[in-house]
Amino acid sequence: MKVLLVAVVGSDNFGDEAMFKVAYDRLSHSGHDVTVATYKTDRAKERFPEVNFIRLPTLSRVEIYKCLVGIPARILNSSEYGALYVAGALNSIYFGHTCLLWSLVKQFEKEDKYVEFRPQSVGPFFGRYRWFVERMVRDIVKSADKFYVREKISYNYLREMNSTLYYSINVLFEFIIKNNFGCCNLQVPAYILICVCYV
């Protein structure tokens, strides 16, 4: 299956690149045809010439305003892909990126396609757009088929944002989000995967 992986590559953030490499290798070894969407495609292609990269757009001011009122931006032709995987961060610092990810999730959700967020750092939320970012993150977590957090503080942010978050502990530290719209899985391989990423 052809899948889209959104990741931070080529920015000298070696933690993000380590998570990208793990996600890419696992998807490739599972037989998927992986296209990686990132911002700095030239640098990314220099570092990983064997990977098929496409450029993530920077959202225009109009597209960001649409996100603020709940209208997803049209990012790319999602009909080419059977699933969406995301490695990255969701917070107020990268507001435009959170808008972009939310828009992508809504596109894939509308087409009833699989969406998975690899270990995420969630938060902090602050500033004039805090309410909008928190709303988008809540919607992303609710819409994703699987959503992994990579440390306890991210889980705590999600707890603060949604008091109906319940969890049960097993090998994957599986968390369940229950709300008026049903429930979805929030799984936390957290500390185990962080160790694997940095080996």
The pLDDT value recorded for residue 2 is 96
Query: Does the residue 46 lie in any domain?
Result: yes
**100-146 pLDDT, tens digit each:** 999 999 999 999 999 998 877 787 788 888 888 888 988 888 888 88
pLDDT digits (tens, 9 = 90+) for 154-197: 777 777 776 555 543 333 433 333 333 344 444 444 433 322 22
* pLDDT value at residue 89: 64
pLDDT band at 52 (very low <50, low <70, confident <90, very high): very high
Asked whether residue 190 is domain-assigned, the answer is no
Closest CA to 87 of 26, 169, 156: 26
Q: What is the pLDDT of residue 35?
A: 97
Higher pLDDT, 57 or 186: 57
pLDDT of 27 > 70? The answer is yes
3-state secondary structure at position 180: coil
| Structural Rg of the chain based on CA atoms | 16
Distance in angstroms (rounded) separating the CA atoms of residues 185 and 34: 24
Share of the chain above pLDDT 70, in %: 79
**How many folded domains does the chain comprise?**
1
Does some domain include residue 96?
Answer: yes
Residue whose pair of structure tokens reads 């270990």 in the numeric block: 119
pLDDT for residue 134: 86
Whole-Å CA distances, 75 to 83, 84, 100, 126:
15, 13, 7, 26
CA distance 9 to 7: 6
Q: Is residue 188 part of a domain?
A: no
Residue numbers of the domain that contains 73:
2-142
Report which residue type is found at 98: T
Task: Answer for the pair 87, 19: CB distance below 8 angstroms, yes or no.
Answer: yes
User: 166 is written with which tokens?
Assistant: 């319940």
Cβ–Cβ < 8 Å for 2, 66: no
Give tens-digit pLDDT for 63-113. Answer: 988 988 999 998 888 899 999 999 876 766 788 888 999 999 999 999 999
Residue 81 sits in a domain of what CATH number?
3.40.50
Contact, 82 vs 113, CB < 8 A?
Answer: yes
Determine, yes or no, domain membership for 76. Answer: yes
Query: Would residue 184 count as lying in a domain?
Result: no
Say if 183 falls within a structural domain: no
Residue 177 lies in a domain: no
CA distance linking residue 156 with residue 152, whole number of Å:
6
